[in-house]
Amino acid sequence: MANVVVIGSQWGDEGKGKIVDWLSERANVVVRFQGGNNAGHTLVISGVTYKLHLLPSGVVRPDKLSIIGNGVVIDPWALLDEMETVRGQGVEVSPSNLRIAENAVLILPLHKELDLAREKALGKGKIGTTGRGIGPAYEDKVARRAIRVGDLADPEVLSRRIEGLLLHHNALRRGLGEPEIDALDLKAKLDDVAPNILPFAGVVWQELDAARRNGKRILFEGAQGTMLDVDHGTYPFVTSSNTVAAQAAVGSGQGPGVVDYVLGIAKAYTTRVGGGPFPTELEDDIGRLLGERGIEFGTTTGRPRRCGWFDGVLVRQAVKVNGINGIALTKLDVLDGMEELKVCTGYRIDGEALDHLPASTVRQAKVEPVFEVMEGWSESTRGARTWADLPATAVKYIRRIEEIIDAPIALLSTSPEREDVILVQDPFAD
């Protein structure tokens, strides 16, 4: 049975939540494998809007197993709040349908405080983080001083972990002029939350291996987007984890052979949140129109997203870096009624042609997009479910995008509603 990885092909916010939810009908297990509650997926199902941050999108479907893998950093308080929110919307969340990797790292209040203090100190040069403590939690993980989910089960181990963690953080806080963290107070908070988290903890790599051997279909759900990857993104304006498809295996405890199909998600235009380069950004009425029509506000932060024309160079780069087999193109309907559209087909730096986004921040700042102008369409594409429902010029736009990015469009999403999808190539096909 085919296993599918879904990843963002731009700077996140591409509409992964809806696509993962749509695909999860064909899957048995849905896995989050990186990031934390800095991510946000919005699902609209029968008029009900679900906003998920840590919970895998499959949780809204009955009879699906949702897994939070070891590559995720988990704010336990935020996770419990999210569980209660979706339960209030009629969604069951219990250890029978949600499992959390025992070796996943916890985000603590001190991580969020450090995140905000650093952003404040950077001033105009700030990264634009969500302030959720993601980066500091990953730093502690790499430095081998983090507290993990399984540590909550052993009071003695937890006390030792806290002692080692605060040896670093309290020295750092003194340097920043912040009050030190009291070890007993932190332990009391963790002891309080532990009984609500531990029932969900388990050896998820083993559970996933068993599911795969039993012929279950696994859907790996990425957060953020390729251009926010800590290695392959617009560094330093990136997240603190690997967001690319290869991380699906590492972040869930599986071998690379587990992946059969990589589905990239891309908007029919481009957006990003926070600072950093954005070659096709539109700081004019068209950019504002895209933002208004697309309701471009961050699911997690509520910040307005920067908007611009479709950047074929970036998405083509994402196709190569991830080994993408097909693209799910979303929000085509936002372009309805526009007389003229532009697509970025290349870059120039000081007159030199370039077919990729360079890693150098200096060169990134000099990038000038090369646009191809295309005819728009006046008809509505919203809610279209077959190619016959699309205007000829919309089909032409889609076909040209396929040529530029060197990948086929596998799915086309024409509204936020779950069923408004045109399926061209089924990622789960054997």
pLDDT tens-place string over residues 183-203: 999 999 999 999 999 999 999
C-beta separation of 381 from 330 below 8 A: no
Look at residue 201 and give its three-state secondary structure. strand
Predicted local confidence at residue 430, as pLDDT = 65
Please pick, among 13, 21, 311, 420, the residue that the annotation labels catalytic.
13
* CA neighbor of 75 nearest in space, from 50, 42, 112: 112
Q: Which residues pair with 4 in a beta bridge?
A: 219, 261
pLDDT single digits (tens) 218-264: 999 998 999 999 999 999 999 999 999 999 999 999 999 999 999 99
Does the structure show a pLDDT above 80 at 155?
yes
Please say if the pLDDT value at position 71 is more than 70. Answer: yes
pLDDT at 352 over 90: yes
pLDDT at 374 over 70: yes
Residue 394's pLDDT band, with cuts at 50, 70 and 90, is very high
Taking the C-alpha atoms of residue 8 and residue 222, their distance in angstroms, rounded to an integer, is 7
Indicate the pLDDT class of residue 300, thresholds 50, 70 and 90.
Answer: low
**pLDDT at site 406:** 97
Note the pLDDT of residue 301: 66
Burial, 417: exposed, middle or buried (Cβ in 10 Å; 0-12, 13-18, 19+)?
A: middle
Q: pLDDT averaged over the chain? A: 93
Q: Based on the residue annotation, tell me whether 169 is a catalytic residue of this protein.
A: no
Are 413 and 19 spatial neighbours (Cβ–Cβ below 8 Å)? yes
With contact defined as beta carbons under 8 Å apart, do 272 and 364 qualify?
A: no
| Nearest partner of 146 among 163, 159, 131, 165, judged by Cα | 165
Q: What is the pLDDT of residue 127?
A: 61
- Transcribe 280-298 into DSSP letters: TB--SHHHHHHHHHTT-B-
- Tell me, what's the pLDDT at 25? 86
Query: What are phi and psi for residue 360, nearest 5 degrees?
Result: -65, 130
pLDDT tens profile 130-153: 778 999 999 999 999 999 999 999
How many angstroms separate the CA atoms of 33 and 69, rounded?
A: 5
Q: Is 41 a catalytic residue?
A: yes
Contacts of 324 (CB under 8 A, 6+ apart): 7, 9, 245, 262, 263, 264, 318, 407
pLDDT score at 356: 96
**How confident is the model at residue 57, as a pLDDT?**
86
pLDDT of residue 109: 95
Active-site residue identified among 21, 41, 229, 232: 41
Ranges 110-119, 171-180, 219-228, 293-302, most confident: 219-228
Tokens at 321, concatenated: 């870096």
Note the pLDDT of residue 21.
83
CB within 8 Å of 53: residues ≥ 6 apart: 37, 38, 39, 40, 41, 78, 82, 299, 300
- Judge whether residue 299 has pLDDT over 80: no
Asked if residues 349 and 368 have their Cβ atoms less than 8 Å apart, the reply is yes
Buried/exposed 93-131: b ≥16 CB within 10 Å, e otherwise: beeebbbbbbbbbbbbebbbbbbebbbeeeeeeebebbb
Cβ-based neighbours of 300, under 8 Å, separated by 6 or more:
37, 38, 39, 40, 53, 130, 132
Do the Cβ atoms of 71 and 252 come closer than 8 Å? yes
pLDDT in tens, 276-294: 999 999 999 999 999 999 9
pLDDT class for 369, splitting at 50, 70, 90?
A: very high
Q: What is the pTM of this model?
A: 0.92
> 381 Cβ partners below 8 Å, 6+ apart?
332, 333, 335, 336, 389, 390, 391, 394, 414
> Which whole-number Å values give the CA distances from 150 to 25, 137, 258, 397, 406, in the listed order?
31, 16, 25, 50, 44
Residues 6+ apart with CB under 8 A from 30: 20, 24, 56, 57, 58, 59, 64, 65, 66, 67, 218, 219, 221
Q: What is the mean pLDDT of residues 387-396?
A: 95
